[in-house]
Amino acid sequence: MKNNIISLVIAFSLGIFALTACNENEKTADKATTAKEQKVLRVAAQAYPLYSPINAAYKLGYFDEEFKAIGASYTWTEFASGPLVNEAVAAGEGDVGFMADLPAIIARSSGQNIQVVSGVSTGERSLAVLTRADSDIKKITDLKGKKIAYAFGSYAQHLLALVLDQAKLTFDDVESVNLGAADSPNALVNKDVDAIVIWEQFITKLTNNGSAKVLIDGTGIKKSNMVLYAVKDFAEKNPELIKAFIKATKRGAEYIKNNPKEAAALLAPKYNVTEEEILKIFGNFNFGVELSDDDVKEITTVADYAYKAGIIKQPVSGDEFINRSYLN
């Protein structure tokens, strides 16, 4: 009986040890899961129609779904412009940002270790030179000697350069005024400037209310690529986070294409426009994450322009700046 009691004690002790070991293994697994869930993508965002696929995906919960599927999460901070996004990323406060081609190129040239990883939208008619509705400026050659407002370093500057070149003019032939998109409309209406170079949603709002007219847009001149960029080191260590973001964005683009009226109702309040206006704005864009060979060529052309014009100090190579591997 003594031997039986000893055997029972040993068996019980081994059982307790096995149960403890099992619990420890479960705790280790829980810690591993928690660590995986703690992977976070910090998004530096903008609330403009140019980025509607991303904003739609955010509103519809597509980012929540895609990041939950890989056991990760994200933070979302909105900024008023591309340069402010660049500042946040440069300060180590963001892992991805989206903006027009030129501000992204400026960020890369300034030393930020970023790469374009997907498209967001293109739209030749989404960027334009506007004059007052009653302006005597009728053609682009009339811009000579005029005061023109645009955001320095924005893709609006590149469009203006192309427009002036068509008219055989240069920036020396006009008076440039550095104004952001939020301030340019009032400057035009109040006759502080003669023309502005601006993007959507401002084009539609100003032309719809009768205060401005389009002198020329980017049709046949500038494709106007909106891009998603990522911090290179972060993306290489966390490719699944970048791919999840791209997948959600693609779903957002498909939603707008297949449900334009619902998408208009969803996004109109965000852009402070009517549903009718946002539907018109949608018509000025091609939404999608693809980066075609033509897109790469366009972005490279913009980079070459920025270097020749002295906007950037260091040239930007398209081969190093654009990474399409995350789209595969």
Tens of pLDDT, residues 56-79: 999 999 999 999 999 999 999 999
pLDDT at 19 over 70: no
pLDDT at 23 over 90: no
Nearest residue to 108 via CA among 327, 307, 308: 307
Tens of pLDDT, residues 246-287: 999 999 999 999 999 999 999 999 999 999 999 999 999 999
Second CATH level (architecture) for the domain 125-217 = 3-Layer(aba) Sandwich (3.40)
Tens of pLDDT, residues 34-62: 444 579 999 999 999 999 999 999 999 99
Give all strands (DSSP E) within the chain, no chain letters. 40-46, 73-79, 96-100, 114-122, 127-132, 147-150, 175-178, 195-199, 212-217, 226-231, 286-287
Q: What is the pLDDT of residue 35?
A: 46
Q: What is the pLDDT of residue 57?
A: 98
Question: What integer is the mean pLDDT of 147-168?
Answer: 94
Nearest residue to 126 via CA among 304, 287, 294, 309: 287
Q: What is the pLDDT of residue 37?
A: 52
Cis peptide before 201 (omega within 30 of 0): yes
Please state which CATH number belongs to domain 42-123+224-327. 3.40.190.10
Mean pLDDT of the chain: 90
More confident residue, 23 or 139: 139
Identical fold at 42-123+224-327 and 125-217?
A: yes
Split at pLDDT 50, 70, 90, the class of 26 is very low
Which pTM does this prediction carry? 0.84
Domain segments of the chain as ranges: 42-123+224-327, 125-217
Question: What integer is the mean pLDDT of 321-325?
Answer: 97
